[in-house]
Structure formats: C-alpha cells, structure tokens
Amino acid sequence: MAHDNIYVHFHPDEHRFVDQAAEWVARAEQHELKRTDFLDPRQAFIVTSLVNRSPDVHVRLDGGHPDAERKRALIAPDYRVLDDEDAGIRVIGVSSSDDTLAELDHGDYMGAILGLGIKRDKIGDIYVRPDGCHFLVSADIADYIVLHLNQVHRAHVSTELLPLDELQPTETKLEELVLSVASMRLDGIVGDVYRLSRAKALLPIKAGRCKVNWKQEEDPSKPLKQGDVVSMKGFGRFKLLEVEGQTKKGRYRIRIGKYA
C-alpha cells in the first residue's frame, strides 16, 4: 500500500503505529490474515482508515462485547470471510470472599494484571462489579493470568476462565459535574474539571500528556464539543456529556462525566 503522505492525517506520535498498521494491510494484500492485539478507539480508527484505502482488504473489529471500547482487529484479503474467524478473546472472572472486594476499582484490577508483567495491549475491557470483575484478554495469555492472578490490591482472589457468552458487562460509572466555563477551550475545561489553574492545566497539555478522543492534543485552545472524551496522564479522564447552553453573561453551562 503506497504511503503517498498519509502521515499528514495523523499526529507525529502516531506515525509509528501508522507504519505498523500499513504493514498489516500490506500483508493482507499478500493473502495473510492479521489478528492484532487490543486497540483503543483511535488505533481502531487508524487501522480502519488504512484498510479503506485498499480495495483488496477488509477488517473486522471485535472486543468480545458489542459495546466494547477496546477491540482486536482481524485484517484479511477481501475474499476471506471474517465473521466466523476466532478473534482470540477470552473472559476471565475474578471473585473472592474478601469483604474489601467491593472497594476495588478499575485501576486496582488493571494494576494487578499489569503487575504480572503483561502488556496493556493484551487486555481488553475491564468490567468491575461489587462482587468481583470480568475482563477480556488475548487468548494466548489467558491461562497465565488464571494461574498467577491471586491478589488485587490487598484482596486475595480466585480467578477462572469463563465462556464468552457468560461475560457480564457493566455500565461505566461516571461522576457527574455541572460546570460554568468561560469558553469551550480544552485548557479551561481541563482546569475546571481537575481544579487546576490555567497555568497548571497548560503544562501537561503542551507536554503531550493529554488526549482528546484518544488522539494526542497539544493545542490548549482546541474547542471541545459534546461527546468528546478527554484523558490526562495522572488525572484520569472525563466525557463532555452535554452543553446545556449559555448564561446571560456568555458563560457555557456544561455537564461533565468523570470516569471512576
């Protein structure tokens, strides 16, 4: 697949992944099937964009659940039927008789999994419940996790492999805030959400630690719109749920959902 300056459409920090995705597409043009690790929505968009440039290749995205955020891509020559291909996704259930399990959150489970030496790319969505957790993983590391994941934070846990149809997804919990902001600028809204001064909000944005819809964003003046998901390293992420309107003084009343 010719690059013909596809880089202009992507952030410089994404060029390495663009090269990788272009290689996957090129191999599919040579009749190979590629099953990627789990991709975030931005990476899935890049893969889909590159596949769409090739008339001889198609792609299927699968995260183990229709509403999954993180998905694996199956990239193949267009004559190969992908509907029945195994996406290589397994469900792991975590449970415990430990009373502290209800206090654990997404970050606790993620930390415990990564603490086993597993790369983030091998992990799909994590669904936390008061009595434990279900999460999706690449099939090649499922047995390893079941064998070694026996503690999450301070809780001792039991881990088991489950059939995909026993996955119990949970809705993402959002802590809602209603804010009055001077403008829809990224730095202003980030500052208000995380209670930072404008100067302190500028630093991580300009340092490349902020993403809007999973794409790195270094422009503090970028206007946000309803539905945008913003993440900042060390602070978490939030979604702009609604722009409710403007006040008589010209300020914007917005509703924010902070991810737990």
Question: In this structure, are 95 and 72 located in the same domain?
Answer: no
How high is the pLDDT of residue 3? 52
Phi then psi for residue 232, to 5 deg, are: -140, 125
- What residue numbers bound the domain in which 240 lies? 174-259
Choosing from 77, 100, 134, the residue where a domain stops is: 77
Question: In this structure, are 189 and 254 located in the same domain?
Answer: yes
Choosing from 134, 166, 198, the residue where a domain stops is: 166
Q: Which residues contact residue 113 at a Cβ distance below 8 angstroms, ignoring those fewer than 6 apart?
A: 123, 135, 145, 149
199-224 pLDDT, tens digit per residue, is: 899 999 999 999 999 999 999 999 99
20-43 pLDDT, tens digit per residue, is: 999 999 999 999 999 999 999 999
Residue 137 CB-density burial (10 A; 0-12 exposed, 13-18 middle, 19+ buried):
buried
Q: State how far the Cα of 111 lies from the Cα of 53, in Å rounded to an integer.
A: 38
Q: Is residue 218 part of a domain?
A: yes
Average pLDDT score, the chain: 93
Question: In this structure, are 179 and 249 located in the same domain?
Answer: yes
H helix or E strand, kind and range, residue 229: strand 229-232
Question: In this structure, are 152 and 195 located in the same domain?
Answer: no
How high is the pLDDT of residue 4? 53
The string of DSSP letters for 232-244 reads ETTTEEEEEEEEE
Q: State how far the Cα of 155 lies from the Cα of 190, in Å rounded to an integer.
A: 34
141-193 pLDDT, tens digit per residue, is: 999 999 999 999 889 999 999 999 999 999 888 899 999 999 999 999 999 99
**pLDDT(239) > 90:** yes
- C-beta separation of 211 from 217 below 8 A: yes
The domain that contains 20 carries what CATH number?
Answer: 3.30.1370.160
How high is the pLDDT of residue 229? 96
Question: In this structure, are 64 and 138 located in the same domain?
Answer: no
Question: In this structure, are 30 and 94 located in the same domain?
Answer: no
Question: In this structure, are 180 and 157 located in the same domain?
Answer: no
SS (H, E, C) 19-47: HHHHHHHHHHHCCCCEEEEEECHHHHHHH
Residue 130: pLDDT band (50, 70, 90) is confident
Question: In this structure, are 145 and 186 located in the same domain?
Answer: no
Q: State how far the Cα of 120 lies from the Cα of 68, in Å rounded to an integer.
A: 16
CA angle 42, 47, 52 (to 5 degrees): 125
What's the total number of domains in the chain? 3
**pLDDT(129) > 50:** yes
**Exposure string over 38-67, b if 16+ CB within 10 A, otherwise e:** bbbbbbbebbbebbeebeebbbbbbbbbee
Q: Is residue 254 part of a domain?
A: yes
Return left, alpha or beta for 132; rule: phi > 0 is left, psi -120 to 50 is alpha, else beta.
left
Choosing from 21, 51, 77, the residue where a domain stops is: 77
Find where tokens 């995260």 sit: 63
- C-beta separation of 109 from 94 below 8 A: yes
Q: Which residues contact residue 225 at a Cβ distance below 8 angstroms, ignoring those fewer than 6 apart?
A: 184, 240, 243
pLDDT cut 90: percent of the chain above it: 81
Question: In this structure, are 188 and 160 located in the same domain?
Answer: no
